[in-house]
A and B are shown apart, each in its own frame.
Chain A
């Protein structure tokens, strides 16, 4: 029986907590099957994932480093999505954001370090936002769908950056397509340095101050979307454009605002990569985080509080997954791409597959308890 559940009777924790967890468990079961078929023991694999991502301090730091990137790109997608815009362009926006960081760090290095950092953050936001502005404008004024234009803009960004990295801003003393390094004092303090400060010995890990920036960005997004006039108007346009027009809210303006903020957040990924890890622009540094961010946001229900655990989960899969491929010869790194795919499938595309059953199960159970 597919009974329709009265949505108002479903407690928030069932739809926002239990259902995602059920989906996740199902995804992991299917993934376990993959690993089993590949000839490895799924339970051992899970142990390795947990050990790899939490079992030792460097592993944990790696997990949080990946999490940082997913938070930025997840938040970016979520902001646009509240205005019902599918921003697939996080990848390109992050890439272009790198230019802003780089130029600020190179051209303003004479200023005090914290000021340069702020300028670099502003640069990431402005460049990422500007890259999102073009598709936003085209959507608002010309009706070109952002899904299409942002995908195209990823390719344009990639080609543009390769051109710049090869012909314009390449470190001419080196062979590779990357820029010169920014001044050492501008490098973001790492977890390693922090560990030394409080007396924990950490070998290399890419985790750096950007993690705190990601947390700050989460708070910012929450405040923007639910506590400001702009967020309110963006959500109104996203839910019901007709009503927004009736209330005197301009859809055009809000499409542009939402996309620019979204692009700016994606641009922040460049802070983690350029100031925190590589200390220069290397070709292809967004490395797919922009795309995975879509899954993170969808899984996190486009709310910062949901995006954090979703980003952490993908961080665990990235870090734990590389540990598994290292120790289990039959599992290639592509297997973990498949596992991610299965998780995205279950928590995105098949999100509502078991929702009615799970919700009606809990609703019935609660009813019985109330009556009894």
Chain B
């Protein structure tokens, strides 16, 4: 009775030095809702992109209905009955629902009978799966929840049997999530298969019949959902691998130097991502902020560093109000007041990758002496400074004239780190300090952060790497869905506790 519809055998995929998928074996049975859970960067999305034909695996086989197939493009996947509902919807904003769905499958040159037929087919689909979509409305007028349903309808219309949903609830309101789950269940009842990628344990428990756990590019567990519970899954997801705990002394906490009161921040789409957060950071301590990506950390960091406007609430630096809903200091002013920020995404924000290394080493401080005098860049000063810090921070190769994009991720991060730490900031905001960084550099970066702390800096460490938060922080708070859901003193916390908090369970 149970037959596999989709099988993956020994799938491997590397990006440069990163082995994103290692010998993945996975069997998805027909008519089930199959959950795939794992931390950020565990390789879930990469794997599903391979199944959807966006990437090609370096090695391994993909079988659909026990027949081996080659997936070179999404079109191959669609023909094999695999449909994908992306995290970011792929819809043309100013087209109607109908136009979006037939896009690429228009059939004939001039719309005529085909269009009418498509419309009546789609209406039937909407009715039988209770999708409740008006085919003639324009996408830009529709909410994210409806847009997601359109993606599902699109896959249905193209004859998908397997639906891959990548973090489908990340952008939805709780009501929309309920609606989505209803739809997914009715799809299952009609014999369709659903693959649900998520990092939220609740969703797995609510919806799935089978679950696979991924960690660091590997499938580390597979079980029927009824045989497991949230605690066990959290353990598997976080892993019990050795903690690289760094040697550090007890923090010598000083006064509160940075504090946040009832902070509310919205993202570019005007969605509230930070919901009344209050935080205090003392001199000489590292406050770790754990949480799964997309729970408001990015917006929080941007607001704290003067990049993003504050919706309401206040931010204080040394008892001086630096931001509220009316005013906010820009990053340059904040730097001058002793606040440094190492952004989460170094290539998007921390660096100009087209610049030479020495240009990035003064980035944000380029207008100050000795780098600039009466607006003219002081080549000699910049070069000797660059050589000095590149040696000090062991940036390899030590060539200030090399274009930054030619450095490895770890060395790019060291460029940012040396630039920001060289200023001896009083407050340091740092996001994902070791994302994509090799192990040697991780240790180095961690040691530098501890040194900064011991010198009396107040550090806010935002990281999705639990091990990192655990090994560096003196105090830990967890962010979930825009709120601080727990505060722990590092000594008495386990990774399991944090895993549960991060998944919004506890």
Name A residues whose Cβ lies closer than 8 Å to a Cβ of B. Answer: 7-8, 227-230, 232-233, 235-236, 239-240, 242-250
Query: Assuming A242-B349, A243-B349, A248-B332, is B363 touching A229 (CB within 8 A)?
Result: no
Q: Is the CB of A243 within 8 A of B331?
A: no
Q: For the complex, what is the distance from the CA of A242 to the CA of B351, rounded to whole Å?
A: 9
Binds A, one of B110-118, B369-377, B463-471: B369-377
Query: Assuming A236-B363, A245-B307, A247-B363, is B375 touching A229 (CB within 8 A)?
Result: yes
Q: For the complex, what is the distance from the CA of A296 to the CA of B240, rounded to whole Å?
A: 61
3 A-B pairs closest in CB distance: A248-B332, A247-B364, A248-B331
Q: For the complex, what is the distance from the CA of A242 to the CA of B305, rounded to whole Å?
A: 13
> Which residue in chain A gives the minimum CB-CB distance to B305?
A246
Q: Is the CB of B354 within 8 A of A239?
A: yes
The yes or no answer to B343 lying at the interface (CB within 8 A) is: yes
Query: Assuming A229-B376, A236-B355, is B349 touching A246 (CB within 8 A)?
Result: yes
The yes or no answer to B189 lying at the interface (CB within 8 A) is: no
Q: Is the CB of A227 within 8 A of B403?
A: no
Q: Is the CB of A229 within 8 A of B367?
A: yes
Number of A-B pairs, beta carbon distance below 8 Å: 72
Query: Assuming A8-B403, A229-B376, A239-B354, is B331 touching A247 (CB within 8 A)?
Result: yes
Query: Assuming A229-B367, A248-B332, is B351 touching A243 (CB within 8 A)?
Result: yes
Query: Assuming A229-B366, A248-B331, is B353 touching A240 (CB within 8 A)?
Result: yes
- Provide the residues of chain B in CB contact with A246, threshold 8 Å: 305, 307, 331, 341, 343, 349-350, 364
> Which residue in chain A gives the minimum CB-CB distance to B371?
A229
- Of the candidates A7, A240, A247, the one having the most CB atoms from chain B within 10 angstroms of its own CB is A247
The yes or no answer to B333 lying at the interface (CB within 8 A) is: yes
Number of residues from B at the complex interface, CB < 8 A = 33
Name B residues whose Cβ lies closer than 8 Å to a Cβ of A. Answer: 305-307, 330-335, 341, 343, 348-355, 359, 363-364, 366-367, 372, 375-377, 379, 402-403, 405-406
Given B331, B354, B375, B376, which contacts A245 in the complex, CB threshold below 8 Å?
A: B331
Q: Is the CB of B377 within 8 A of A248?
A: no
CB distance from A16 to the nearest CB of B (A): 14
Given B343, B364, B372, which contacts A248 in the complex, CB threshold below 8 Å?
A: B364
- Provide the residues of chain A in CB contact with B330, threshold 8 Å: 248, 250
CB distance from B428 to the nearest CB of A (A): 15
Q: For the complex, what is the distance from the CA of A80 to the CA of B455, rounded to whole Å?
A: 44
Query: Assuming A239-B355, A240-B352, is B366 touching A7 (CB within 8 A)?
Result: no
CB distance from A303 to the nearest CB of B (A): 14
Query: Assuming A229-B372, A248-B364, is B377 touching A7 (CB within 8 A)?
Result: no
Q: For the complex, what is the distance from the CA of A41 to the CA of B353, rounded to whole Å?
A: 49
> Which residue in chain B gives the minimum CB-CB distance to A245?
B307
Q: For the complex, what is the distance from the CA of A166 to the CA of B379, rounded to whole Å?
A: 52
- Provide the residues of chain A in CB contact with B359, threshold 8 Å: 232
Q: For the complex, what is the distance from the CA of A340 to the CA of B330, rounded to whole Å?
A: 47
Q: Is the CB of A235 within 8 A of B355?
A: yes
Q: For the complex, what is the distance from the CA of A170 to the CA of B343, rounded to whole Å?
A: 60
Q: For the complex, what is the distance from the CA of A8 to the CA of B354, rounded to whole Å?
A: 12
- Provide the residues of chain A in CB contact with B349, threshold 8 Å: 240, 242-243, 246
CB distance from A120 to the nearest CB of B (A): 26
Q: For the complex, what is the distance from the CA of A235 to the CA of B355, rounded to whole Å?
A: 9
Q: For the complex, what is the distance from the CA of A261 to the CA of B484, rounded to whole Å?
A: 49
A8-B403, A232-B377 known; 17 new pairs, CB 8 Å cut-off, are A228-B377, A229-B366, A229-B372, A229-B377, A239-B352, A239-B355, A240-B349, A240-B353, A242-B348, A243-B349, A243-B363, A246-B364, A247-B331, A247-B332, A248-B330, A248-B333, A248-B364
- Provide the residues of chain B in CB contact with A7, threshold 8 Å: 405-406
A to B CB contacts below 8 Å, 8 in the list: A8-B406, A229-B376, A235-B355, A236-B355, A236-B363, A239-B352, A243-B350, A246-B364
CB distance from B389 to the nearest CB of A (A): 17
Q: Is the CB of A230 within 8 A of B375?
A: yes
Q: For the complex, what is the distance from the CA of A244 to the CA of B348, rounded to whole Å?
A: 10
